[in-house]
Chains A and B, each alone.
Chain A
Amino acid sequence: MATDKTRFVDPPNLLRRKTGGGPAGGGTIDDTALLAAQAVISAQAGDYPERAAKDIAALAEEHAKAVRDPTIRAEQIARIGMVVHDIRSEGSTFGYPLITKVGTSLYDFCQYAQASDAQIEVIGAHIDALRVIIGQKIEGDGGEIGAELLNMLRLASNKFQATIHK
């Protein structure tokens, strides 16, 4: 049995009362509201490629600074990780799961504290892939092009990891 130091509390469910819910476990949100919420996503999806292109341009700018000045690479890579974290968070919501996949790959890659030429090069390849996806408006999984992009990035990442594990 749990010791006497453990206290279990069942607070009164004021939210169920406030929302007019019936017996516990039977609550739902009506279909009309769900459709309205889906319409919000559809409406914002129209602007998404333009917004994403701006974010990716900002990413490319941070990368260019790291290429130009090796002394600030570590900070720039951390900065790229932060920017791409927001980019990857939105892709799938608006029908661009490849943005989320490539963005996640780039985010993970930025966690290596190497700041080497090889790392900068692979980061650049990720940014190029993001540009292609948004530039060509590759929705969904991107079919053959999508598979090819992901494979190219996987190979580049593996090659980099092989160098740091030597």
Chain B
Amino acid sequence: MSELRLNYLKVLVVDDNRSMLFLISDLLRALGVGNIITATNGAEAIQILIDQAAAPVDIVITDISMEPVDGAELLEWVRKNPKSANRFMPVIVLTGHTELARIVQMRDLGATEILAKPVTVMGLSNRMVTVIDRPRRFVEIESYFGPDRRRRTVPYSGDDRRKANKGD
């Protein structure tokens, strides 16, 4: 086991609920994160990511429901836009929407982790450790770019018939 030192990390937190924004920022600071930047919607966040491309943000933590640009659009921008400084950037999606369809949508846009609100210290710290220490490989096919959506490795003796189809 090794203790992670988070003081050199730059984390961008995005949420339109200011008390949530301050809570997450304070928690990250307490966990030792050295550089925390905040934005109140996806458009502000994208501008920050462009402006800071020379010393890129390490991790994005974003809410989903925001205007005028929401967390889904921000995630899509990080993964697909040519101006994105790091298409592999870990994106932790913070949401009170725990409906399966919403989670699947974010997963299919390339979310690295989902953190359900209400936030807990263990929930946040576990997601931070996971994206830093146990990153998944990335998959690129015509219809998807992001962390491998298959998290479990299970024994299988048949043919591997995985196809890069549109519905994949």
* Residue ranges of A at the interface with B (Cβ–Cβ < 8 Å): 1-3, 5-11, 13, 15-16, 18-30, 33-34, 36-41, 44, 51, 82, 85-86, 88-93, 100
| Residue from A26, A40, A51, A91 in contact with B19 in the complex, judged by beta carbons closer than 8 Å | A51
Known contacts A28-B3, A51-B19; is-contact A8 B138 (Cβ 8 Å) = yes
* A100 CB to nearest B CB, Å: 6
Within 60-82 of B, Cβ neighbours of A (below 8 Å) are at: 65
Known contacts A15-B59, A85-B96; is-contact A37 B121 (Cβ 8 Å) = yes
Contact between B26 and A40 (Cβ–Cβ < 8 Å)?
yes
A21 to B132, CA, bound (A): 9
| Residue from A11, A26, A29, A85 in contact with B6 in the complex, judged by beta carbons closer than 8 Å | A29
Chain B residues near A1: list those with CB within 8 A. Answer: 159-160, 162
The segment from B44-52, B101-109, B123-131 found at the interface with A is: B123-131
Contact between A19 and B20 (Cβ–Cβ < 8 Å)?
no
Known contacts A11-B138, A28-B3; is-contact A16 B133 (Cβ 8 Å) = yes
Pick 15 A–B contacts, CB within 8 A, sort by A. Answer: A9-B137, A9-B140, A18-B8, A25-B133, A26-B1, A28-B2, A33-B30, A37-B30, A41-B23, A85-B65, A86-B19, A86-B20, A89-B117, A93-B118, A100-B118
Known contacts A15-B59, A29-B128; is-contact A41 B27 (Cβ 8 Å) = yes
The residue on B at minimum CB distance from A20 is B5
Chain A residues near B124: list those with CB within 8 A. Answer: 37
* A3 CB to nearest B CB, Å: 5
Place the interface of chain B in its size category.
35 or more
Contact between A25 and B134 (Cβ–Cβ < 8 Å)?
yes
Contact between A27 and B2 (Cβ–Cβ < 8 Å)?
yes
A21 to B19, CA, bound (A): 32
Contact between A36 and B30 (Cβ–Cβ < 8 Å)?
yes
Within 81-102 of B, Cβ neighbours of A (below 8 Å) are at: 88, 90, 96
| Residue from B88, B121, B148, B159 in contact with A41 in the complex, judged by beta carbons closer than 8 Å | B121
Chain A residues near B133: list those with CB within 8 A. Answer: 16, 21, 24-27
Chain B residues near A33: list those with CB within 8 A. Answer: 6, 30-32, 125
For A7, A24, A33, A89, the residue with the greatest tally of chain B CB atoms inside 10 Å of its CB is A89
A28 to B128, CA, bound (A): 10
Chain B residues near A44: list those with CB within 8 A. Answer: 23, 26
A34 to B163, CA, bound (A): 43
The residue on A at minimum CB distance from B120 is A93
Chain A residues near B120: list those with CB within 8 A. Answer: 92-93
The residue on B at minimum CB distance from A94 is B118
- The 6 closest A-B CB pairs, nearest first, are A27-B133, A22-B2, A92-B118, A89-B117, A5-B164, A37-B30
Contact between B162 and A6 (Cβ–Cβ < 8 Å)?
yes
* A139 CB to nearest B CB, Å: 14
The residue on A at minimum CB distance from B16 is A86
| Residue from B3, B121, B131, B148 in contact with A15 in the complex, judged by beta carbons closer than 8 Å | B131
